[in-house]
Structure 1
């Protein structure tokens, strides 16, 4: 038994660190508006309707995403009941699987030390922690796409095509297009076109479609053209070509997102690229593949007109491999890039400087969170820097892992629960049954509606304070009307539309208010 533990100590360490980071505090805070409740509510309604085919929300069919993550949530609900923990559990399982897969396959792609470093760098990066504990689809896509890309490189083609089909069920056409385009770019760059003869492309396409397309055919058979027009036309083509939120997209949008997501290992990004192109390496071909994989995803979404912070998540595993390789080179060569040390200190100071950022009065609740989070994150930068300066390479790595583990516990166990009132609709949903009469018209601000529906079971009608804030019509309606909105929206309307003052306040929480037109 002792020999077994010694032989598998690297893998056991990876599994232990991943479990310590990802498993605790799943239910410490309610699902956060608006994304987590959207997926939780969709899976809840599908399960209650006994419909495993058609995603639905607010009592209506919804064609925004394919069903793989919903199916995983529905299975979780079936086994453990409907709760915040069971909503997030599928993402956690996918995150654990991704971490362990990166380690196991990294031993084949590189060697055991690089695999070990890469897996731990991945699971302790800030962005991976966040997505791995959130009830959103991105971690499911990350896992399926990671298996696809590594299987292609290792010439495990049938596995690659199966998971390509699962990626199609996880996120839509990008799950099929990304592997094909990444492989084409890699083959063109390395001039290995002869590999295409061995990739079993005809059989693979059929296998991937056999896994991924039946759901699409059944959806088309049941819902017809509206499914294709909405899912393919709007949610894939239109959202790539035109911004969902005009004025909020930029070709540089994902640069700070990547730097923040890879914290505290961000400082090594540029030295890694410099080392990769400056010197030849025994792992050069594998490194080129990882670089193409990561860069393609980053550039694709940088040019997309609709941009959300989680879109580049599938580039985290190949980026972790690149960083793990660089850390290994520093260790065995007993030297590192001097700018790396300076960058660590500067990033640590920049993180601490976030405490000086002036906050609007309505956002002042973030101040304690910024203080605690910045101090722990700065420690994850300063401590490795001190160790590197003294040439304690192993201690530098351990210091980063330990401080980021502490960071994860502080953020998910203490910081987020402290301001749950400001990022969830849980409290409003709890008091709504005591205020709402059960039959009058109920309007809910668009941003809050998923959370209210998930926790109260009341769908209401969507109210958009930007596109349709017709307060006069609501006031003139003879029937009683209830209106739920955030207090920030309420205060903005109070400055621009004094009609809001004629509504009565039926109930309120620290951040939301329930209004009534005829008090």
Structure 2
């Protein structure tokens, strides 16, 4: 719901093309310049890499264990991208970036069909300008691909319900909802749009977009949805039917029951109050959330007039917000699917709203605030303090400072050029600069620390090229960034169980084998005089334990584990 250009007149085609090019370049900026960063990215790339290396694509693995927290669809896309690019630093981000561009196109096209070409442009620019959209487009998370699926589903369903009948679009929407469901369990949510449509039809006497003999077409909705889910569930069902492997049965129970229904009704992490998403909207949907108070009256007038477009877009958005608010487990990215619908609902009101001075002043103030904040952080005490806490070297600090200064100056120039009259366009350009600097400067500068690449490089140098490496209490980024094959002893197993396996392993060849260990997981009985403190990464201290430092009878007594719930890492 952020803002865009404040006029209703369509700009020249060359300007549309230029803005589109700038948006695409800003989202792609930095592609291939960083490694996967915690919390979620390394585990997905580990699973995708194991698919490519093993040729077994049905069951994702995290090291030696099955990874049963998420379906493999997103990992399939990453593995497929690697098959095309042969470069993991490019492939792991490519699905999210392409999904983000697809979302913008779908929003633009639907807005043009429902209202006017200019409204479609406004809606797409509104989505792009939202902070949360850019943050997720720059991350290799499942949620941007899920957003593309839910937006495609809404695109098809709304074309039928509002502009139809258009059965092929309707069936495509149902199919996309099915694919979205096996991408991440909530992909079925677009089908809830039937509820506000039914209520609108009842209150305003509007007929459904159907004709005599269309019963079989409506009946085909469920098969099309099931066909979408079958891209993963069918091969999984065949594997279960052909095999009685208990690990496969446990995998199916975990992902189909505990990670769906139980995760929603009795969440065991990320527990937040019911009003949590109001705070998310206020902060992560900036700058559009600044205009929400002015949008509500316009929405209310259109709802009272019976505007079916607003009934469906806003009604569905409220239903999804309530759906996620009811569950005790909440994360800010869960409500991302609402964003395109909310921007489409806001777009018809934006042009008129931005003719008023005060909304433009708010937007200009937002750009000025970002510029000032960047410069304050660059020259204030916070950057050196954070660098010390994260063990960043002076070169990285200088890169970050350069990036902040460049960002602050760039945003300041945009604010000075845009002033109040062109404040909305200034927001779009400021967003382009923000994500360009993030991709080209900030993310690469922090990469060695955030991805653990620097730490694992030091590990390889310290133990030498001929040594064998084992891991206890490890994180996914450590395994991913290791420079050699690694022996690990489980990810979800507690530390005592891992040590019970690691000790005999390292004792077999004590002069050649080393253990990479989280400091808190080190048993007291290990000869600490031989232990090497190898460094810090992701707010953890890591140690190297040579095989000669362990002796028979030394066992860990800690019952801790580094394995938390999915999406709850560093």
Tell whether the structures are fold-level matches, with TM greater than 0.5. Answer: yes
1-structure distance, mates of 2:143, 2:273: 21
User: For this pair of structures, how many residues does the alignment match?
Assistant: 497
Distance 1:257 1:357, change over 3 A: farther
Alignment of 1:298-317 (within 5 A): 298-317=321-340
CA distance in 2 between counterparts of 1:274 and 1:374 reads 40
Structure 1: any 5+ residue segments left out of the alignment? none
2:287: which partner in 1?
Answer: 264
Partner residue in 2 for 1:461: 489
Deviates more, 1:455-464 or 1:15-24: 455-464
Equivalent of 1:404, from 422, 425, 431?
Answer: 431
Instruction: Find the aligned partners of 2:88 and 2:49 in 1 and give their Cα distance.
Output: 10
Task: Describe the superposition over 1:222-273 as per-residue Cα deviations: whole angstroms up to 9, x where unpaired.
Answer: 2453243111111111211223326x43323333333333233331233222
| Match in the other structure for 1:153 | 158
Give the aligned partner of residue 268 of structure 2: 244
How big is each residue's C-alpha offset from its partner over 1:194-227, in whole Å with a ceiling of 9 and x where there is no partner? 5386683311111221232252132133245324
User: Hey, what's the Cα distance between the residues in 1 that align with 2:196 and 2:23?
Assistant: 33
CA 1:293–1:432 in structure 2 vs 1: closer, same or farther (change >3 Å)? farther
Q: What is aligned with 1:167?
A: 180
Within a 5 Å distance, the mapping from 1:214-233 to structure 2 comes to 215-223=232-240, 225-233=249-257
Deviates more, 1:182-191 or 1:52-61: 182-191
Conservation of the 8 A alpha-carbon contact between 1:383 and 1:396: no
Among candidates 215, 225, 230, match of residue 213 of structure 1: 230
Mapped partners of 2:363, 2:23: distance in 1: 27
Given that 2:489 and 2:498 are in contact with CA atoms closer than 8 Å, whether structure 1 keeps it comes out as: no
Alignment correspondent of 1:131 = 136
Residue 296 of structure 1 corresponds to 319
308-317 or 297-306, which deviates more: 297-306
Residue 49 (structure 1) shift = 1.4
Note the alpha carbon deviations across 1:276-312, whole angstroms, 9 max, x for none. Answer: 1256698932223222233333332233233333222
Preserved contact between residue 352 and residue 378 of structure 1 (Cα < 8 Å): no
TM-score, structure 2 as length reference: 0.74
* Structure 1 contact 471–499 (Cα < 8 Å) conserved: no
1:315-352 CA-to-partner distances (Å, cap 9, x unmatched) read: 22112223433322224xx326x477458748965983
CA distance in structure 2 between the aligned counterparts of 1:370 and 1:277, rounded to whole angstroms: 46
**SS of the counterpart of 2:334?**
coil
Q: Structure 2: which 5+ residue stretches go unaligned?
A: 1-9, 161-168, 241-247, 550-570
TM-score of the pair, normalised by structure 1: 0.81
Please give the alpha-carbon distance, in whole angstroms, between the structure 2 residues aligned to 1:506 and 1:69: 38
How many Å separate the matches in 2 of 1:397 and 1:339? 9
Displacement, 1:103? 1.1
Query: Of residues 321, 324, 334 in structure 1, which corresponds to 2:344?
Result: 321
Whether the aligned pair in 2 keeps the contact of 1:102 and 1:317 (CA below 8 Å) is: yes
2:28 maps to which of 11, 23, 26: 23
Q: Give secondary structure in 2 for the equivalent of 1:244.
A: coil
Matches of 1:440 and 1:387 in 2, distance apart? 57
Aligned counterpart in structure 2 of residue 502 of structure 1, from 524, 528, 545: 528
C-alpha change, 1:387 and 1:76, in structure 2 (3 Å) is closer
**Alpha carbon RMSD of aligned pairs, Å?**
4.1
Residue number in structure 1 paired with 2:472: 443
- Alignment match of 1:41 (pick from 29, 43, 46): 46
Deviation at 1:516, TM superposition (A): 0.7
Please give the secondary structure, in 1, of the residue aligned with 2:544: strand
Of residues 41-50 and 320-329 in structure 1, the stretch that sits farther from structure 2 once superposed is 320-329
